[in-house]
């Protein structure tokens, strides 16, 4: 089995199953199966756990480039799309739980929340921004968009920042948990910034390389599977 096949038939299915574990855990808890329980307020628990899982997958997605560069595992890029799509999936579930189970489909409250509650505004913005990325995640869209694909997908930095901010702002007083996400995100973005700086060519040479991605986190369509 070559590397491509190993990823296709072993690693990707394993990651796929692992990525569904949080969902399975929440479903077992929601129905009280096998001794799992979501506590006295299952709706809030579902809502918060799905939101945090979405953030976890965003962080994992952003960790792919640093890890493949630092650990010398270039093929890790083959897992990135799936991780990103799971971030989107859990964000959609998070929003659906909020709308259906928490607000009980009260669209008036939803509208008021989005307009009046800054933390919900930014969370909703992050969700909307994820939509074009999910829609353009196919190989066909990558080919069609060419260089613009990468430019579009840099939105993931904005999305991750909005997502972490959404969590931070929503917490009543104990910000330790969202601060962990702030630190992780800062490390992931800081790494890219440092690497881009280190790789910045000498002033005179720059125009020649202007069209080359310099951030070191690029995903050429050809690099994907």
Partner 1 sequence: MRTRLPHIAPSEITPESVYLSRRALLAGLLAGGATSLVRANQSQENAYGPLTYSVNPMYTVAGEQPNKFEEIAGYNNFYEFGTDKDSPSEYAPKFLKSKPWSVIVGGECEVKGTFNLEDLLKGQTLEERIYRFRCVEAWSLVVPWVGFPLSNLITRFKPTANAKYVQFTTLYDPSQMPGQRDRILNWPYVEGLRMDEAMHPLTLMVVGLYGRVLPNQDGAPLRLIVPWKYGFKSCKSIARIDFTAREPRTAWNLAAPNEYGFYANVNPKVDHPRWSQATERRIGAPFLAARRPTLPFNGYADQVASLYQGLDLKLNF
- Interface with partner 1 includes 168 (CB under 8 A)? no
Minimum gap (Å) between residue 24 Cβ and partner 1: 16
Among 10, 13, 16, 41, binds partner 1 (CB under 8 A): 41
- Interface with partner 1 includes 116 (CB under 8 A)? yes
Find the binding residues for partner 1 in span 170-189 (CB under 8 A).
170, 172-174
Size of the site for partner 1 (CB under 8 A): 28
- Interface with partner 1 includes 25 (CB under 8 A)? no
DSSP for 81-137 reads: HHHHHHHHHHHHHHHHIIIIIISTT-HHHHHHHHHH-HHHHHHHHHHHHHHHHHHT-
- Interface with partner 1 includes 103 (CB under 8 A)? yes
Integer Cα distance of 35 and 49 in angstroms: 18
- Interface with partner 1 includes 196 (CB under 8 A)? no
Q: In terms of Cα–Cα distance, which of 46, 53, 52 is closest to 30?
A: 46
- Interface with partner 1 includes 100 (CB under 8 A)? yes
- Interface with partner 1 includes 63 (CB under 8 A)? no
CA dihedral 202, 206, 209, 210 (to 10 degrees): 140
HSE value, Cβ hemisphere, 13 Å, CA-based, for 77: 15
Minimum gap (Å) between residue 35 Cβ and partner 1: 5
Find the binding residues for partner 1 in span 68-87 (CB under 8 A).
none
Q: In terms of Cα–Cα distance, which of 91, 94, 86, 85 is closest to 48?
A: 94
Binding site for partner 1 (CB under 8 A): 32, 34-37, 39-41, 43-44, 100-104, 106, 109, 112-113, 116-119, 169-170, 172-174
């Amino acid at each position: 089995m070559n590397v491509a096949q190993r990823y296709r038939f072993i690693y990707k299915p394993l990651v796929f199953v692992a990525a569904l574990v949080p969902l399975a855990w929440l479903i077992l808890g929601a129905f009280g199966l096998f001794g799992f329980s979501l506590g006295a307020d299952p709706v809030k628990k579902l809502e918060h756990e799905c939101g945090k899982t979405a953030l976890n997958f965003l962080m994992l997605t952003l960790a792919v480039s640093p890890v493949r560069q630092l650990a010398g595992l270039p093929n890790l890029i083959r897992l990135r799309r799936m991780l990103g799509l799971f971030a989107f999936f859990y964000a959609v579930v998070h929003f659906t739980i909020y709308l259906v189970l928490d607000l009980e489909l009260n669209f008036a409250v939803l509208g008021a929340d989005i307009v009046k509650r800054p933390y919900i505004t930014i969370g909703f913005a992050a969700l909307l921004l994820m939509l074009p990325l999910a829609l353009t995640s196919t190989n066909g869209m990558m080919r069609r968009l060419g260089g613009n694909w990468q430019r579009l997908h840099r939105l993931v930095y904005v999305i991750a920042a909005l997502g972490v901010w959404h969590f931070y702002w929503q917490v009543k007083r104990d910000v330790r948990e969202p601060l962990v996400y702030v630190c992780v995100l800062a490390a992931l973005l800081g790494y890219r910034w440092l690497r881009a700086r280190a790789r910045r060519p000498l002033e005179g040479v720059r125009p020649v390389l202007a069209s080359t991605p310099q951030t070191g986190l690029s995903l050429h369509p050809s690099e994907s599977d």
